[in-house]
Amino acid sequence: GDSVTQMEGPVTLSEEAFLTINCTYTATGYPSLFWYVQYPGEGLQLLLKATKADDKGSNKGFEATYRKETTSFHLEKGSVQVSDSAVYFCALSDLGANAGGTSYGKLTFGQGTILTVHP
Amino acid sequence: DAGITQSPRHKVTETGTPVTLRCHQTENHRYMYWYRQDPGHGLRLIHYSYGVKDTDKGEVSDGYSVSRSKTEDFLLTLESATSSQTSVYFCAISEFRSNQPQHFGDGTRLSIL
């Protein structure tokens, strides 16, 4: 079945440092890939997405490229800020099917990576 | 932001009591989902709905039931709550079946003593 593996955290950086959070996936179909961010006490917010191989998603200075050959979708940011402190989730979306044959948008998450940025 | 409201936001209850969580959306999206979030597990799908009165099980559905009588509302019920169901519960919605992101509510923190 589908699975997503993220680098384990927590990750602690100083402000303006370079960020990489690794994400690799296993999927049988042609999934879309997402990064979500969760700030304390809030729900998950979509950060960026890529729907096919070689697509680059970007938002708020974050980037990730859909690499089919390495089954990866690593999140990067050139200069992090204190306000980037949050939990980051890599996820893939594929078609799932229940026992009755009805299909649905199945979202599979990694376990999350806690990022803390110090001034 | 997607119009998703979860209620209550926090709840403390005792083992063996019934609990119902509500998810309300204003986006008229067809698909709705309930997840639970636990440390080290990311988010896991409990149940989902693909239309009014159309629901099915996710990967961790034991001990939970759902109902959807209107497009905008999706209820999650714990018939007899147990301490292992202490978690943060998130509702999500999506317009299409696949390859599109789901949008999440702010969650309900449920503690079962």
Interval A98-112: pLDDT, tens: 656 666 677 889 999
Instruction: Average the pLDDT over B50-66 and give the result.
Output: 92
pLDDT band at B4 (very low <50, low <70, confident <90, very high): very high
Q: Which two tokens stand for residue B79?
A: 């018939």
* Among B residues 83-112, those touching chain A with beta carbons less than 8 Å apart: 90, 92, 94, 96-107
Query: Greatest CA span in chain A, whole angstroms?
Result: 53
Q: Could you tell me which residues come within 8 angstroms of residue A104 by beta carbon, excluding any fewer than 6 positions away? A: A95, A96, A97, A98, B31, B48, B50, B56, B97, B98
Contact B99, B38 (CB under 8 A): no
- What count of other Cβ atoms lies within 10 Å of the Cβ of residue B81? 22
Percent of chain B exceeding pLDDT 90 equals: 80
Instruction: Average the pLDDT over A30-55 and give the result.
Output: 92
Instruction: Average the pLDDT over B48-57 and give the result.
Output: 91
Query: Tell me, what amino acid is at A53?
Result: A
| B29-57 as b/e: b if 16+ CB within 10 A | bbbbbbbbbeeeebbbbbbbbbeeeebbb
pLDDT band at B2 (very low <50, low <70, confident <90, very high): low
Mutation target for A interface from B4, B32, B43, B95: give the one with most A CBs within 10 A: B43
Instruction: Average the pLDDT over A13-22 and give the result.
Output: 97
Residue, of B107 and B96, whose pLDDT is higher: B107
- Contact state of B97 with A104 under an 8 Å Cβ cutoff: yes
